[in-house]
């Protein structure tokens, strides 16, 4: 009986190793939404981390999260860090590219519950009187 249990565990471990080994080295996620505002208005909201508490879904998941800001108020070099409950974790973001009102790139560092460094990008495209915002995040699978 013990032999069958050990064999079963070995098969599960082997399958897990195969699945992990066949995953791509990089990942990319992308989502889009249309906002009822001009690209300049939407860009201004995203380009300033002080505004994120008003619209970020993560800010609402832990209202007691500790936050800090460094560097310029907005644009390249602006930094935001947070430390919250297990759902929001801990990390920091730095704006590394700010091209009004078209594109914003952010270095996103997760410290807890897992460590990772990724890039998040926001692209703002006019669609009539509205703006299509495309958010993406990419990085290495670890």
Q: What is the pLDDT of residue 20?
A: 61
Q: What is the pLDDT of residue 15?
A: 74
The pTM of the whole model exceeds 0.85: no
Residue 132 pLDDT class (50, 70, 90 cuts): very high
Q: What is the pLDDT of residue 107?
A: 98
Q: What percent of the chain has pLDDT over 70?
A: 95
Residue 7 pLDDT class (50, 70, 90 cuts): confident
- Give dist(CA 13, CA 32) in Å, integer: 38
The mean predicted confidence, pLDDT, of the chain is 90
Do 35 and 131 form a contact (C-beta atoms < 8 A)?
Answer: yes
Q: What is the pLDDT of residue 93?
A: 97
Q: What is the pLDDT of residues 35-80, one digit of tens each?
A: 999 999 999 999 999 999 888 888 888 888 999 999 999 999 999 9
Q: What is the pLDDT of residue 46?
A: 96
Question: CB-based contacts of 66: which residues, under 8 Å, 6+ apart?
Answer: 82, 83, 84
Q: What is the pLDDT of residues 105-128, one digit of tens each?
A: 999 999 999 899 999 999 999 999
Is residue 77 left, alpha or beta, with left meaning phi > 0 and alpha meaning psi from -120 to 50? left
Eight-class DSSP state of 48? -
- What number is the average pLDDT over the span 82-110? 95
């Amino acid at each position: 009986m013990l032999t069958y249990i050990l064999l079963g565990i070995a098969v599960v471990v082997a399958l897990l190793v195969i699945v992990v080994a066949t995953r791509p080295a990089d990942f990319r996620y992308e989502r889009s939404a249309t906002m009822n505002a001009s690209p300049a208005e939407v860009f201004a909201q995203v380009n300033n981390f002080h505004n994120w508490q008003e619209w970020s879904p993560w800010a609402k998941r832990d209202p007691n999260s500790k936050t800090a800001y460094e560097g310029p108020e907005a644009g390249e070099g602006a930094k935001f860090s947070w430390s919250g409950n297990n759902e929001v974790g801990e990390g920091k973001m730095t704006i590394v590219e700010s091209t009004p009102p078209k594109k914003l790139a952010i270095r996103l560092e997760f410290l807890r519950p897992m460590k990772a460094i990724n890039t998040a990008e926001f692209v703002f495209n006019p669609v009539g009187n509205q703006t299509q915002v495309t958010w993406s995040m990419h990085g290495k699978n670890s």
